[in-house]
Amino acid sequence: MMEISKRITILGSTGSIGRQSLEVIAACGMEVAALAANSSVKRMEEQARQFKPELAVLADEKAAADLRVRLADTNVRVLSGMGGLIEAATVSSADTAIAALVGMVGLRPTLAAIREGKRIALANKETLVCAGPLVLEEAKDYGARILPVDSEHSALFQSLEGNRDRGEVKRLILTCSGGPFYGKKTEELQGMTREDALQHPNWSMGAKITVDSATLMNKGLEVIEAMHLYHMPVEKISVVIHRESIIHSLVEYCDNAMIAQLGAPDMCLPIQYALTWPKRIASTATTPLDLWNCGTLTFGTPDLDTFRCLALALEAAKTGGTAGAILNGANEAAVAQFLAGEIGFLEIAQRVALAMERVPVVQDPTLNDILEADAAAREAVR
Ligand code: MG
């Protein structure tokens, strides 16, 4: 039986998932081997002083140089760049890597950790969206166990436990809060700003994923992620609007039984389960769900005409090959433009659609094909 994680590397430690991961690690008495992030110097310094990793990495060279000075009185080694991220991912004393970097930048470090046979707690959905078959094949070859951290995928994982014959699964149902613009029509979305998009009703998350939640691209990426993780065709994956985020996803079986996982809308539980599976442990990090006071649960159909990003993602899922990498690369570039105030909210979907039209799809792609598709999609958006 697989053991509970003991010593952990966090790729993306200063972000929302990274910080909640450290809460779980502290509550469960686990150790930190390495911490890596993009450029948040102050937060990284605090984390390094508190958790005493052997290695702290900032991808940004200047930020890393600053961190090196700040941590000069400690034993923490400081590295930078993609080389540093990969070194953090492969630190030999770690049995587990939490992959929580945002975006395509997480792909190579995650693959490096997989090749070391580590337990991978996967929060970086772009990795599977862009390179699902490749990543899963490597995981199989190197004996690396991938455990989902995304709340929906953790819920599906938990609802699939005990299932011995995947043929008995009728479909996977991902729940979707609907995001901050739920119920709005296209005309009303015209003038939506960065500030409007960054107000999420239930979850507190980083800027990129919060915008993805507003466009419903996040759910689209999750459909593709689920397709790869659970080897299901996109036709057998459905999305249901569930505003309350209490049911985190469901599996419908061939006899029409539905098995769901419920919990408070709090990422600490899926993070912790990815670190303790196949065991469950009690910890102060996770929040109990007060079922008696959580009110009415509602369900509805997503509006694919208004939230075109979800429709585009379903199309990319059907196309396969590098379509996921094109969708994702275009979306990352368009969301960055939106966050910089350069384009309007509705233009995110328009630019993703444009990239999908312009960039040719390659089937059965190599890693290089995927990286090229990503770059071409970003270029098309610019
Ligand atoms: Mg999610």
As a 3-state breakdown, the chain gives helix, strand, coil percent values, each rounded to 5, of 50, 15, 35
CA of 237 to the centre of ligand 1 (A): 15
CA of 79 to the centre of ligand 1 (A): 31
CA of 238 to the centre of ligand 1 (A): 14
CA of 209 to the centre of ligand 1 (A): 9
> What number is the average pLDDT over the span 250-276?
97
Q: Would you say residue 1 has pLDDT above 90?
A: no
pLDDT at 126: 87
> What number is the average pLDDT over the span 153-169?
95
Assign residue 118 a region: left if phi > 0, alpha if psi is -120 to 50, beta otherwise?
beta
Q: Would you say residue 183 has pLDDT above 80?
A: yes
Q: What is the mean pLDDT of the chain?
A: 96
Q: At which residue do the structure tokens 């929302």 appear?
A: 16
- Spatial CA neighbour of 248 closest among 206, 202, 217, 215: 202
CA of 68 to the centre of ligand 1 (A): 34
CA of 57 to the centre of ligand 1 (A): 26
> What number is the average pLDDT over the span 194-205?
78
Q: Would you say residue 322 has pLDDT above 90?
A: yes
Calpha distance 376→329 (Å, rounded): 8
Q: Which helix (H) or strand (E) holds 237?
A: strand 237-241
> What number is the average pLDDT over the span 345-361?
98
DSSP readout, 55-90?
EEEESSHHHHHHHHHHTTTSS-EEEEHHHHHHHHHH
Of 24-28, 195-199, 226-230, 239-243, the poorest mean pLDDT is in 195-199
pLDDT at 2: 84
pLDDT at 80: 98
Calpha distance 352→355 (Å, rounded): 5
Q: In Å, what is the CA distance from 366 to each residue of 120, 123, 132, 145, 378?
A: 22, 23, 11, 22, 19
CA of 155 to the centre of ligand 1 (A): 10
CA of 288 to the centre of ligand 1 (A): 19
CA of 150 to the centre of ligand 1 (A): 5
Where does the pLDDT of residue 34 fall: very low under 50, low under 70, confident under 90, or very high at 90 and above?
Answer: very high
Q: Would you say residue 332 has pLDDT above 90?
A: yes
CA quadruple 139, 145, 149, 150: dihedral sign: positive
Q: Would you say residue 204 has pLDDT above 70?
A: no
Where does the pLDDT of residue 102 fall: very low under 50, low under 70, confident under 90, or very high at 90 and above?
Answer: confident
pLDDT at 321: 97
Q: Would you say residue 62 has pLDDT above 80?
A: yes
pLDDT at 206: 80
CA of 217 to the centre of ligand 1 (A): 11
* Protein residues near ligand 1, an ion, with CB under 5 A: 150-152
Q: In Å, what is the CA distance from 326 to each residue of 31, 49, 352?
A: 37, 40, 8
Q: Would you say residue 201 has pLDDT above 80?
A: no
Assign residue 24 a region: left if phi > 0, alpha if psi is -120 to 50, beta otherwise?
alpha
> What number is the average pLDDT over the span 35-51?
97
CA of 89 to the centre of ligand 1 (A): 23
How many CB atoms are located within 10 Å of the residue 381 CB? 24
CA of 143 to the centre of ligand 1 (A): 26
CA of 219 to the centre of ligand 1 (A): 7
- Spatial CA neighbour of 224 closest among 98, 120, 331: 331
CA of 198 to the centre of ligand 1 (A): 16
CA of 67 to the centre of ligand 1 (A): 32
> What number is the average pLDDT over the span 226-249?
97
pLDDT tens readout for residues 281-314: 999 999 999 999 999 999 999 999 999 999 999 9
CA of 61 to the centre of ligand 1 (A): 31
Residue 39 CB burial class (10 angstroms; 0-12, 13-18, ≥19): middle
pTM metric for this prediction: 0.95
Calpha distance 101→56 (Å, rounded): 14
Q: Would you say residue 165 has pLDDT above 70?
A: yes
